[in-house]
Amino acid sequence: MVHDLIGRVEQLGQPRVLVVGDLILDRYIWGFAERISQEAPVPLLRADHREHRLGGAASVATMLRALGAEVRLIGAVGCDFEATVVRGMLAAQGIDDRWVVTLEDRPTTLKERYIGRAQDRHPQQMIRVDYETRDPMPATAQAELHGRLPAAIWWAEVVLISDYDKGVCTPSWLGAVIDSARGAGVKVLADPIRAPDYSRYRGVHCMTPNRLEAQLATGLTIARPEDALPVGRRLVESLDMEAALVTLDRDGMALVRADGRAELLSTRPRQVYDITGAGDMVLAVVGLCLAGGADYDEAAALGNVAGGLEVEKFGVALLTREEIIRDLVEHHQPEGSKVLDRDHLVIEAGRRRRAGQRVVFTNGCFDLLHPGHVRLLRQARSLGDYLVVGINSDASVRRLKGPDRPLNTAESRAEVLSALESVDAVTIFDDDTPLDLIEAINPDVLVKGGDYRPEEVVGRAEVEAGGGRLVLIPLAEGHSTTGLVHRVVAGAVKVHSAETVPVPHITRNAVPNLTRK
């Protein structure tokens, strides 16, 4: 499943997404709040920085651009300085704003947040001041947008509605958007407002309400994650949708489909800094994935990951595909997935590098695992982010060390190695040397024991030619496979002379060949 999700992200292409909704400008005033005002018992903010970010439908649009989509935006701004800022930021992001109308009867919606730092702790929002008008758009503005709608729908592969109840998403306008999109065979997704009546969204293919919004719209209570399933079912049935995706903050999501399928998607525990923008991110990623050919299961799973990443950042922040892939790679690998064949290992190593990780490779027989091996592997892992261990197949070991080896099968050796925390992947190779394997995965770091000279290490030239490096790790004194075999043989002989127990068939000729793994 994880490999499928990573592959889906890598194959998304550049979907065309039309975003419809309320444009918001987020202004952040940063400063230090380390004392109380002398005028009143309130914190005093000593401002030192001002920052603008796009919010609402504009936030969804910028998130999509950061994720590689082509974006067009339908909405409205006022006739003021903030409108100039919004249009300038949209242009800088490469977002087409020709369908954004100017309304002279209202200000551009502005949310001004004052953010205080104190004693190097994580910054905290102290107060938010909103400048807005929630009256419906004038009829003239709606008529202007109606005239532009057919061309925008024709261009789009998916339509996202980002409704913040600031006057753009009137019932009549949304009805026109939904009808036009359905007529063109284009899916429509909505992030709804908090309201008891969702009739304005009837006919959308999917919506992404949060826990509170879903409860208010259905009259049902979500006390446990399982309670979200009947809530989602009611939304699907009452609004004629294909699916409902109810976001449940720390409990993940509930996905309910019109065909009766329903499931809960859990999320891993995260350090939550700020929930601002999480809903926008879920809408953006789910819409992007559906436009890119994903089904609802894949889109919901990736939206769940992206929403979790968003709450780890302060304010409305952007994500890249690489960040989503990195999170999948680092935290969502299934249990028992460490032993990989060559084809899957090559794919996984490539994904790790694209996610900004360093791939480390070492190899050997690892026939009798001892503390020297464990220490070498631990040190090797410290040199990068993803340690791959290649082990010789049984046939390869026999060719190298004689007919009496290995003492443990390749499957057994792989199982033992994969149980080590320092080892991220194990693969079995059948050649006498790992050269083909090294060339296939192209590691950033090649590791061998200190009993090798650099010129003796197979794959060194190929790794260094690719920009990597060789690291020789000193062997742990007193620990070797050779010593273990000698002690086994000596112990067997001693027991034989005292108790007439047969000596295991381990030839002395094999012992000198055990000086290296």
Q: What is the pLDDT of residue 185?
A: 95
Q: Which pLDDT band holds residue 338 (cuts at 50, 70, 90)? A: confident
User: In the beta sheet, which residues pair with residue 102?
Assistant: 77
**Does residue 426 contact residue 339 with C-beta atoms inside 8 Å?**
yes
Cα 368 to chain centroid, rounded = 38
Q: Which pLDDT band holds residue 508 (cuts at 50, 70, 90)? A: very low
Residue 471 φ then ψ, to 5°: -125, 125
Q: Which pLDDT band holds residue 470 (cuts at 50, 70, 90)? A: very high
**Alpha-helical segments (H) within 276-393:** 278-291, 296-311, 321-331, 342-354, 371-381
Q: Which pLDDT band holds residue 195 (cuts at 50, 70, 90)? A: very high
Tens of pLDDT, residue by residue over 141-175, are 989 888 889 999 999 999 999 999 999 999 999 99
pLDDT at 270 over 80: no
Beta carbons within 8 Å of 144's beta carbon, 6+ residues apart: 101
pLDDT at 344 over 60: yes
**Average pLDDT along the chain:** 86
pLDDT at 333 over 80: no
Is the pTM for the entire model greater than 0.75?
no
Beta strand pairing status for 469-473 and 445-449?
parallel
Q: Is 127 left (phi over 0), alpha (psi -120 to 50) or beta?
A: beta
Q: What is the pLDDT of residue 129?
A: 96
Which two three-digit tokens encode residue 112? 């001004």
For the chain, give the percent of residues with pLDDT over 90: 61
- Comparing 354 with 252, the larger pLDDT belongs to 252
Q: What is the pLDDT of residue 481?
A: 55
Q: What is the pLDDT of residue 511?
A: 41
**Does residue 102 contact residue 70 with C-beta atoms inside 8 Å?**
no
Q: Is 465 left (phi over 0), alpha (psi -120 to 50) or beta?
A: alpha
The dihedral of CA 437, 441, 447, 453: what is its sign?
Answer: positive
Beta carbons within 10 angstroms of residue 33's beta carbon: 19
Q: What is the pLDDT of residue 319?
A: 81
pLDDT at 277 over 70: no
pLDDT at 477 over 80: no
Give the C-alpha separation, 392 to 437, whole Å. 11
Residues that are catalytic: 280
Q: Which pLDDT band holds residue 318 (cuts at 50, 70, 90)? A: confident
Give the C-alpha separation, 377 to 391, whole Å. 13
Task: Find the mean pLDDT for residues 332-338.
Answer: 59
DSSP class of residue 159 equals E
Beta strand pairing status for 253-257 and 262-265?
antiparallel
Q: What is the pLDDT of residue 515?
A: 37
Beta strand pairing status for 359-364 and 386-392?
parallel
Q: What is the pLDDT of residue 315?
A: 55
Q: What is the pLDDT of residue 313?
A: 62
Which of 4-8, 245-249, 390-394, 404-408 is the least confident region? 4-8
Q: What is the pLDDT of residue 498?
A: 46
Which of 209-213, 324-328, 339-343 is the least confident region? 324-328
Tens of pLDDT, residue by residue over 15-58, are 999 999 999 999 999 999 988 999 999 999 999 999 999 999 99
- Sheet order of strands, 253-257 included: 96-102, 70-77, 16-21, 158-162, 187-191, 206-207, 243-247, 253-257, 262-265
Beta strand pairing status for 43-56 and 23-36?
antiparallel
Give the C-alpha separation, 173 to 177, whole Å. 6
User: In the beta sheet, which residues pair with residue 75?
Assistant: 100
Which two three-digit tokens encode residue 266? 């859990």
- Comparing 451 with 512, the larger pLDDT belongs to 451
Give the C-alpha separation, 381 to 453, whole Å. 21
Q: Which pLDDT band holds residue 487 (cuts at 50, 70, 90)? A: low
For the chain, give the percent of residues with pLDDT over 70: 86
Q: What is the pLDDT of residue 484?
A: 56
pLDDT at 249 over 90: no
Which two three-digit tokens encode residue 439? 């060339």
Which two three-digit tokens encode residue 432? 């006498």
158-167, 346-355, 449-458: range with highest mean pLDDT: 158-167
Q: What is the pLDDT of residue 65?
A: 94
Q: What is the pLDDT of residue 275?
A: 55
Q: What is the pLDDT of residue 107?
A: 95
Q: What is the pLDDT of residue 509?
A: 44
Give the C-alpha separation, 369 to 375, whole Å. 11
Task: Find the mean pLDDT for residues 467-478.
Answer: 84
Residue 189 burial by Cβ neighbours in a 10 Å radius (0-12, 13-18, 19+): buried
203-207, 303-307, 412-416, 493-497: range with highest mean pLDDT: 203-207
pLDDT at 257 over 90: yes
- Comparing 317 with 290, the larger pLDDT belongs to 290
- Sheet order of strands, 110-117 included: 43-56, 23-36, 110-117, 124-131
Q: How big is the CA angle at 253 (ends 247 and 256), to the nearest 5 degrees?
A: 100
pLDDT at 331 over 70: no
Q: Which pLDDT band holds residue 316 (cuts at 50, 70, 90)? A: low
**Does residue 186 contact residue 158 with C-beta atoms inside 8 Å?**
yes
Which of 95-99, 103-107, 321-325 is the least confident region? 321-325
Which structural domains are found in the chain, ordered by start? 15-245 (3.40.1190.20), 342-482 (3.40.50.620)
Give the C-alpha separation, 430 to 395, whole Å. 7
Q: What is the pLDDT of residue 75?
A: 95
Q: What is the pLDDT of residue 343?
A: 85
Which two three-digit tokens encode residue 180? 């036009």
- Comparing 215 with 6, the larger pLDDT belongs to 215
